[in-house]
Amino acid sequence: MTLQIFEAYGIELEYMLVDASTLDVRPMADTVLGMLNGGQITGDVKRGPVTWSNELAMHVLELKVGTPNKRLATLAGQFEQAIIEIREVLERCHLRLLPTAMHPWMDPRRDVVLWPHDCYEIYQGYDQIFGCRSHGWGNVQSVHLNVPFDGDEQFRRLHAAVRLVIPVLSALTASSPIIGGQDTGIADNRMQQYCRHCDLMPALTGSVVPETVRSEAEYEQMIFRPIREAVSKSKSASVMDPQFLNARGAIARFDRGSIEIRVMDVQEYPGADVAVCAAIIAVLRLLVDEKWSSLEEQEQVATSRLRSVLDRVTVDAEMAVIDAPEYLRCFAIDAPSIRVSDLWKHLLGVARREDSMVDNLFAPLEIILRDGTLSTRIRAAIDGDADPANLQNVYEQVADCLDRWEPFQP
């Protein structure tokens, strides 16, 4: 059945499997999925309306909606129930789930183990081309939001709106301030790594912010064709699908009629992720409805300009200053510059008034607006002390948030 724009949504969350005592990563996704599946190893285990799945790295599990969901308010509870149900298996393996978008001290050259079971040839292909034992491939946990469309007209409007939202999402979702045991000064290290993980084949990511594209035919010509040409000389070309190789911050999936947004860091508990997704959907709907600007005005903002905003927000998250008047005018802000936290207060204020879903799920967003991103809150808890013992103590508290279903507040 073809879904209309904004009719239902898919959400995917990624979590790390770590040792219950040390929080070191443990490459045991196949063991956990096998135990959930009655002893037989599989890449997907359905649990009611949600599914646990493997990812490229063996220490990562994905939790996702089985079918598009029309009511996000119920989805948070479904994710919570799935996490409660998997806990017994994790305890038997002396494991726990660790949220946030990057493990704070893992060494990917030593710790990344690739999934060796079904579809392994695809992962091996990626590894042959890019070398997946790196932070950009093996230490990046994100949230994917799928929004449907039906036909070129809906695609064009949705894609134009998505381009404008992508650059500022880290101001809500950054959760990766620590990498290799160090505070790098970058709020969203996952996005920093993501932006360059395909540098050997730039056609795969483009500028991360997608180009202005108005139809499926244009998308094939501008995006899929260069990807196909880039990978054609690789030994792994036969197992590589351009739809999956496309690594922009949002990708069009014409086979299922959706745009998948992939730039959000995972939060400390799914209630926060679902609230962020509700906010994104509401802002996208307002843009598609041309609440603040016309479709033509939205499409005219240069991709390079949007990428410069994304780079700044990746580093400074909610404290970044946007000095792109043509971009701000798309949100009816008539100012030469604005702090991105103030932009989100403006957007969420309108979204909350016009969308009851956002209002009902607003509590986690209120914490982000008041106390900062999870990245900011983790830094506050670390308080300049990146000693291994202190890092473990702080990240144990973050992991507890997933078990207790509560926000992280240092």
Tokens found for residue 32? 């956990």
Q: Tell me whether residue 44 is in a domain.
A: no
The whole-number pLDDT of residue 124 equals 87
pLDDT in tens, the chain (410 residues): 789 999 999 999 999 999 999 999 999 999 999 999 999 999 999 988 999 999 999 999 999 998 999 889 899 999 999 999 999 999 999 999 999 999 999 999 999 999 999 888 888 888 888 889 999 999 999 999 999 999 999 999 999 999 999 999 999 999 999 999 999 999 999 999 999 888 888 999 999 999 999 999 999 999 999 999 888 877 666 556 777 789 999 999 999 999 999 999 999 999 999 999 999 999 999 999 999 999 999 999 999 999 999 999 999 999 999 999 999 999 999 999 999 999 999 999 999 999 999 999 999 999 999 999 999 999 999 999 999 999 999 999 999 999 999 999 98
Question: Is 50 contained in some domain?
Answer: no
**Is residue 55 assigned to a domain?**
no
Which residues share a beta bridge with 369? Answer: none
Q: Is residue 21 part of a domain?
A: no
- Coil, strand or helix at 281: helix
d(CA 342, CA 358): 18
pTM for the full model?
A: 0.96
Q: Domain for residue 128, yes or no?
A: yes
The reply to whether 57 falls in a domain is no
- Number of structural domains (the chain) is 1
Q: Which two tokens stand for residue 273?
A: 């992720």
Q: Provide φ and ψ at 367, rounded to 5°.
A: -65, -40
pLDDT at residue number 369: 97
CATH of residue 137's domain is 3.30.590.20
Q: Is residue 291 part of a domain?
A: yes
CA distance 328 to 198: 30
Q: What is the distance between the alpha carbons of residues 256 and 221, in angstroms, rounded to a whole number? A: 19
Asked if residue 216 belongs to a domain, the reply is yes
User: Quick check: 339 and 321 in contact, CB under 8 A?
Assistant: yes
pLDDT at 165: 98
Contacts of 240 (CB under 8 A, 6+ apart): 122, 125, 231, 234
Range of the domain at 281: 121-404
Give the Cα separation of 100 and 278 in Å (integer): 19
**Residue 237's pLDDT is what?**
60
